[in-house]
């Protein structure tokens, strides 16, 4: 086994164990064990488990992004301080001050990549499991935690006449090639479209004016169109089962981003202004840009203002004086 295979072996076992767990559970409640839809739901279950496990990482990512937003003025001052200084010592000093700033505020620009980096080994593991199904069947072997019988069962399973282990480029034995082509193209389009829509809504609604005007934004706009093309071209090699996995995880990401944009938007973005207007219309206090929860200072100020208004509007009852008896 090569070095990459050694690293991926635990992930292949974990991916296949989760799939088998969902498959056995679905079979227990009455779904046919050899049916392609049973295995399809097992792949979707794998996505749900992985993405649910990544929720704490995603929350940390959001907080890190909020921290980076707060650091933008200080980072701009640091860049202006070393503007025009290209010598090695100046660049090193700027890098050290920048890292110290990140450490002080508990954030860094790489936090946004964490969910993707953590998820990629599972994606590659699933790709290796599904693309190796046919070979394992022919050699009489299992793959990952899947036994040889389960490998044979998976290889024979299909949806709409297309085997889950088949791909657009390589096809699949025993299946309808036209169905493989049609289903693969539909899944590739769904995969790339969901990814494009997710990135587009972030750029349109959840980026501040400063971020939109930065030189980095031009690169982001290029990536908006380049990444879907890359995944679309690469999708011709993906087995249908992998396309199902990637489309499902993209849909999860799209829904997750919709929730974040509506409830925890980036400070200064159109979504943040819309949220502030909605809460102001309801008489609710502002939310903390770091946590998305009620800001303590704003809430206390709102309560004090409400108490003052109530006191002013309350009628003072006259006190009855005790009269002396004659």
Report whether 58 contacts 82 (CB < 8 A). Answer: no
pLDDT higher for 9 or 20?
20
Give me the number of domains the chain comprises: 1
Report whether 167 contacts 241 (CB < 8 A). Answer: no
pLDDT at position 298 is 47
* Mean pLDDT across the chain: 79
Task: For the beta carbon of residue 2, count every other beta carbon within 10 angstroms.
Answer: 7
CA–CA gap between residue 138 and residue 132 (Å, rounded): 10
pLDDT higher for 150 or 170?
150
DSSP helix/strand/coil, 163:
strand
CA–CA gap between residue 168 and residue 309 (Å, rounded): 68
Residue 259 lies in a domain: yes
pLDDT at position 188 is 92
Q: What is the mean pLDDT of residues 104-109?
A: 71
CA–CA gap between residue 155 and residue 146 (Å, rounded): 12
Contacts of 35 (CB under 8 A, 6+ apart): 157
> Which of 37-41, 87-91, 204-208 ranks highest by mean pLDDT?
37-41
CA–CA gap between residue 166 and residue 177 (Å, rounded): 9
Report whether 8 contacts 128 (CB < 8 A). Answer: yes
pLDDT at position 45 is 94
Q: What is the mean pLDDT of residues 255-276?
A: 84
Q: What is the mean pLDDT of residues 145-169?
A: 88
pTM of the predicted model, to two decimals?
Answer: 0.74
Q: Phi/psi of residue 242, each to 5°? A: -70, -40
Report whether 185 contacts 263 (CB < 8 A). Answer: no
Residue 301 lies in a domain: no
Residue 202 domain boundaries: 3-83+96-281
Residue 90 lies in a domain: no
Cα torsion 5, 180, 223, 61: sign: negative
Residue 173 lies in a domain: yes
pLDDT at position 311 is 53
- Statement: residue 310 has pLDDT above 60: no
209-221 confidence digits (pLDDT tens): 766 666 556 666 7
The pLDDT > 70 percentage for the chain reads: 77
**2-11, 19-28, 92-101: segment of lowest average pLDDT:** 2-11
Residue 309 lies in a domain: no
- Statement: residue 325 has pLDDT above 70: no
Q: What is the mean pLDDT of residues 289-297?
A: 51
CA–CA gap between residue 21 and residue 180 (Å, rounded): 27
CA–CA gap between residue 42 and residue 117 (Å, rounded): 23
- Statement: residue 201 has pLDDT above 90: no
DSSP character for 4?
H
Residue 316 lies in a domain: no
pLDDT at position 229 is 84
In whole angstroms, how far apart are CA 66 and each of 8, 107, 206, 262, 264? 34, 9, 12, 15, 10
Residue 30 lies in a domain: yes
Cα torsion 66, 68, 74, 80: sign: negative
- Statement: residue 262 has pLDDT above 60: yes
Residue 77 lies in a domain: yes
């Amino acid at each position: 086994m090569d070095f990459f295979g050694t690293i991926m072996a635990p992930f292949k076992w974990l991916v296949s164990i989760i799939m088998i767990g969902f498959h056995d559970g679905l079979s227990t409640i009455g779904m046919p064990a050899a049916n392609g839809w049973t295995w399809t739901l097992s792949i979707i279950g794998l996505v749900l488990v992985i993405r649910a496990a990544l929720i704490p990482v995603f929350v940390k990512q959001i907080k890190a992004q909020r921290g980076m937003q707060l650091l933008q003025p200080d980072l701009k001052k640091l860049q202006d301080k070393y503007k025009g200084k290209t010598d090695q010592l100046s660049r090193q000093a700027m890098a050290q001050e920048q890292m110290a700033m990140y450490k002080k505020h508990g954030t860094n620009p790489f936090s946004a990549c964490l969910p993707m980096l953590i998820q990629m080994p599972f994606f590659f593991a699933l790709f290796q499991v599904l693309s190796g199904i046919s070979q394992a069947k022919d050699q009489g072997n299992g793959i990952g935690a899947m036994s040889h019988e389960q490998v044979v069962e998976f290889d024979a399973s299909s949806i709409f006449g297309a085997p889950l282990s088949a791909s657009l480029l390589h096809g699949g034995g025993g299946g309808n090639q036209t169905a493989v082509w049609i289903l693969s193209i539909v899944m590739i389009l769904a995969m790339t479209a969901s990814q494009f829509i997710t990135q587009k809504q972030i750029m349109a609604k959840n980026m501040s004016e400063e971020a939109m005007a930065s030189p980095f934004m031009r690169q982001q706009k290029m990536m908006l169109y380049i990444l879907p093309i890359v995944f679309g071209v690469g999708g011709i090699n993906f087995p249908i089962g992998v396309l199902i996995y990637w489309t499902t995880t993209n849909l999860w990401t799209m829904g997750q981003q919709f929730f974040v944009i509506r409830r925890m938007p980036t400070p200064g973005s159109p979504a943040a202004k819309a949220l502030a207007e909605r809460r102001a219309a309801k008489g609710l206090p502002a939310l903390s840009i770091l946590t998305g929860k009620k800001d303590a200072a704003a809430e206390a100020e709102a309560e004090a203002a409400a108490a003052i208004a109530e006191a002013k509007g309350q009628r003072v009852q006259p006190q009855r004086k005790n009269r002396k008896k004659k």
